[in-house]
Structure 1
Amino acid sequence: MGINLNPFTWWNGASWSTVLYGLRGKTRVGEDALGNAYWQGGSDTMGRPRRWVIYGGSNDASRVPPEWFGWLHHQIDDVPDRALPPRRTWQKPAVANMTGTALAYRPPGALEKGGHRQAATGDYEAWTPDA
């Protein structure tokens, strides 16, 4: 079913018409580790080069790594590979937003984790206006 829907839908990725007609005369400037392709061409209303992303999967803005986010929003002029220093060893790779999935963060006491949280330790004293 996915191949039949692709020519008409945008929520599963770029439609064929976008790839065939919308990118004609534009320049592909790079790709990230998630398979997103970054393009540049023409100019926006402020005269800056127009930049956009074609997602390599579902259309979710949280799948754009921070360095490419900066490039898309004209915070850096050149592509991140050339404009930014190398990644530090302590930096973690960007992760897409996991909200709504089984991998989402659930704190202790969340209903999805059983709904039981640890008892209070006794060091908490509620505020009262007369105290």
Structure 2
Amino acid sequence: MSFLGKIFTWWNGATIGTHLWSWRNGEQVGTDAQGNAYFRSRPKKDQRERRWVIYEGANDASRVPSEWHGWLHGAFDDVPESNLPPARIWEADYTPNATGTAAAYRPQGALERGGKRAAAVGDYEAWSPDA
């Protein structure tokens, strides 16, 4: 991204101001597998700790793994990397939220797939005012 883009846009990653503020007021506590960086504020008297994430790439909250989501919202104090259980073989890798993209799920009958759906069969009977 260009230098001007970093100054004025927030939707394609953090701005220069956010990076400077994070460097000055926070400390990085970890990163996840996608490269997102997690920060917490430096301790100050009579202030609660603030926690935030700087995304690697586009800002999409669905890219925050569940263990880091819990840490961001104060569910636990320790950094998730220090107390994660080993990964299970049945756990699926992260897939981005495809809503609004060409890869989004579109069921049979959706307008994007031609708008034709299967005829109603079985025990469905249309309502009629004369009945």
Q: TM-score range by the shorter chain?
A: 0.7 to 0.9
Counterpart AA for 1:112: E
Gaps of 5+ in 1: none
Counterpart AA for 2:24: R
Counterpart AA for 2:122: G
**In structure 2, do the counterparts of structure 1 residues 121 and 37 end up closer, same or farther at CA, with 3 Å as the change threshold?**
same
Q: CA deviation at 1:36?
A: 1.0
Name the structure 1 match of 2:94: 94
Q: CA deviation at 1:96?
A: 2.7
Aligned pairs, how many? 128
Distance across 1 between alignment mates of 2:41 and 2:21: 13
How do 1:1-131 and structure 2 match up within 5 A?
2-42=2-42, 47-125=47-125
Q: CA deviation at 1:102?
A: 0.8
Contact 2:29 2:39 in 1 (8 A): yes
Counterpart AA for 1:9: T
Q: Secondary structure at the match of 1:56?
A: coil
Describe the superposition over 1:83-119 as per-residue Cα deviations: whole angstroms up to 9, x where unpaired: 2212221121233321111111111111111212222
Q: Secondary structure at the match of 1:81?
A: helix
Describe the superposition over 1:4-42 as per-residue Cα deviations: whole angstroms up to 9, x where unpaired: 311222222111122123421521111112221111123
Identity fraction in percent: 57
After superposition, the CA RMSD in angstroms is: 2.6
**In structure 2, do the counterparts of structure 1 residues 2 and 104 end up closer, same or farther at CA, with 3 Å as the change threshold?**
farther
